[in-house]
A and B are shown apart, each in its own frame.
Chain A
Amino acid sequence: MTRSLQRPSVHSLLPGRYFTDPEIYKRELKTVWRSTWQWVGRVEDLPNPGDYLSCMLGEEPLFVIRTAEGALRAMHNICPHRGARLLTEARGNCTKLQCPYHAWTYDTEGRLLAVLQPKWFPDLDKSTIRLAPARVDTWGGFIFVNPDPEGESLIEYLAGYPEYLADWGHRWEDLREVDRSSFEEPINWKFIVENYVEDYHFSVAHAKSLVPLFDVQAIRTMPTGRHIPISVPYTPEAPTEPAMRRHWEAGGISYQGFLFPNMMINTGPDSVSVWRVVPLGPERTRLETVNYQTPEQYALSPYVRESWKKVMEEDFAVCRLLQQGVNSRAYQVGPLAVEHELGVVHFHKVLAEYL
């Protein structure tokens, strides 16, 4: 893992209109969201043949299904007959996929099995028609999908991120879901990412929530590939507040970080919180959070749902301020902090390559 201590340059940042312009948003949908690996679920969500999950990556409807042979396949969720959406449920199980429009039927490998009224298609060669494939792969039990059928493998794309997470003392494959939440905000998705990948705001926005928990001075941002691992050590002394102490680990590190374009992983002393940033429009974003524990973690500390709404609101409040400021003719980004705002520059640099 390489670590850059270069001085962040504001010259490489994207201009303000990139956070409001519908044209830029459309361009992102066609570049970023169509050709990157994105987390869509977990292996244990699809244990049986025929289990599937459907998802939207930008404007691309896709699904992942476990085939009769037990493999995972990702395909575009579009019937090649007339282009109708095939699977309409978020999750389910089916041995065959049937289009709700004209009942064309496919197997779990995407091969066309049957059409309604075959006599009406005298020249149809079923073997030439199949659902458009996407790529699917897994790391640590997380299922990733790339709508682009060609390009670098997931492991190449992850660019050393798994090695960073290997220092966490548990098997990622063993994680199981304990809780999930969702937040919708009038904020461009990139502001949510920017705010996540810098810790300069901690001592102001999170003075009472995260600062007693983490050694802010010792936070390290270590870009690798397109991604931004952030090592966040806990404070040397335990927080005085009992509720905070439960989230503190003596001498430990919270392995946090951002996987381009929209995944955030945060380890805690006895759980992991994984976030997904879902753009809904140029100025609207949903943040989905899913918490996981390994069976061993759950046995020692059964999950009790504690609300992180307060900390989330602290972040959303500052992101809303960014969104409110970005349309001003005086909008600008001044000098950025060495190390502690490095992630912002790295994110913009990576994004600029797609736009």
Chain B
Amino acid sequence: MTVHADLPRHVREVFLPSLKEPHRETAQILFEQIQKLEDLRTQSTTWFTEGQSAARDACQLELAAIATEVCEAYKQVIRVAQQP
């Protein structure tokens, strides 16, 4: 995972605090879940031996699919939160 530190910092310190409740807390939870899933995916590359590349790729894809779903939920919350 090579996400530059400025990006999550902006979300945590500027963007999320600008949202109104109860959406702020929901978005915060979903954002942290996305971070955890991405961290998990980075770690998961070490769970497999050299001969298990197919299993490793499948695991990566599955974790990416879950992160994508959580991200879609996050985006929906943001859309609702930003409605006037």
Contact = CB atoms under 8 A, between A and B. Distances in A.
A178 B75 contact: no
B3 interface: yes
A321 interface: no
B55 to A, nearest CB: 16
A349 interface: no
Interface string A273-308: 000000000000000000001010011111111110
Interface string A301-343: 1111111000000000000000000000000000000000000
A306 B75 contact: no
Contact of A295 (B10, B41, B71): B10
Given A176-B7, A298-B11, 12 more contacts: A178-B3, A178-B7, A180-B2, A246-B68, A295-B7, A298-B3, A299-B11, A299-B78, A300-B75, A301-B75, A303-B3, A305-B41
Contacts of B4: 44, 176-178
B18 to A, nearest CB: 9
B61 interface: yes
Contacts of A44: 4, 6
A23 interface: no
Main secondary structure of the interface of B (DSSP, over half): helix
B71 A302 contact: yes
A298 B10 CA distance: 9
Given A302-B31, A302-B71, A307 B3 contact: no
Interface string A165-198: 0000000000011111000000000000000000
Contacts of B10: 295, 298-299
Contacts of A180: 2
Nearest to A178: B3
Contacts, number: 64
Interface string B50-84: 00000000001100100110010011001000000
Contacts of A307: 60-61, 64
B5 to A, nearest CB: 8
Nearest to A302: B34
Contacts of A177: 2-4
Chain B interface size range: 20 to 34
Contacts of B8: 298
Contacts of B11: 295, 298-299, 302
A299 B34 CA distance: 12
B2 A293 contact: no
Given A298-B11, A299-B10, A304 B3 contact: no
Interface string B1-39: 111101110110011000000000000000100110010
A18 to B, nearest CB: 36
Given A299-B15, A304-B38, A305-B41, A176 B71 contact: no
A298 B15 CA distance: 10
B74 to A, nearest CB: 7
Nearest to B41: A305
Q: Which 9 A-B pairs have the closest CB atoms?
A: A176-B4, A295-B10, A299-B15, A298-B7, A304-B67, A177-B4, A178-B3, A299-B11, A176-B6
Interface in A239-289: 243, 246
Interface core residue of A180, A298, A302 (most chain B CB under 10 Å)? A302
A301 B79 CA distance: 11
22 contacts: A177-B3, A178-B2, A178-B3, A179-B2, A179-B3, A295-B6, A295-B7, A295-B11, A295-B14, A298-B3, A298-B11, A300-B75, A302-B7, A302-B11, A302-B34, A304-B38, A304-B64, A304-B68, A305-B38, A305-B41, A306-B64, A307-B64
B4 to A, nearest CB: 4
A307 B56 CA distance: 14
A202 B31 CA distance: 36
Contacts of A299: 10-11, 14-15, 78
